[in-house]
Amino acid sequence: MKRKGMKKSARSLEGTENENHASFLARFELKVTPDELLYLDMAYDFSKRAHEKQWRETGARYFEHARGTVIILVDELGITDVGLAIASIFHDCPEDTWLMTLTRIRLIFGERVARIDAAVTKPKDDDPRFRSKAAAKRWYYANIKASDVDVKLVKLVDRLQNTRALVACSREKQLRKIAETRKYILPLIPDVAKVYPRVAKLLTQKFAEAIAALA
Q: Is residue 173 assigned to a domain?
A: yes
Q: Is residue 71 assigned to a domain?
A: yes
Q: Is residue 33 assigned to a domain?
A: yes
Q: Is residue 53 assigned to a domain?
A: yes
pLDDT tens digits along 135-180:
999 999 999 999 999 999 999 999 999 999 999 999 999 999 999 9
Q: Is residue 2 assigned to a domain?
A: no
Which segments of the chain does DSSP mark as H helices, in order? 8-14, 21-26, 34-50, 62-71, 82-89, 93-96, 102-109, 111-120, 133-146, 149-165, 171-180, 189-193, 197-212
Q: How many domains does the chain have?
A: 1
Q: Is residue 1 assigned to a domain?
A: no
| Residue 118: band (very low, low, confident or very high) from pLDDT cuts 50, 70, 90 | very high
Q: Is residue 68 assigned to a domain?
A: yes
Say whether pLDDT at 1 is over 50: no
Q: Is residue 182 assigned to a domain?
A: yes
The string of DSSP letters for 76-110 reads IT----HHHHHHHHTTTHHHH-SSS-HHHHHHHH-
Structural domain harbouring 36: 8-212
Phi-psi region of 15 (alpha: psi -120 to 50; beta: other; left: phi over 0): left
Quick one: average pLDDT of 87-102?
A: 98
CATH code of residue 46: 1.10.3210.10
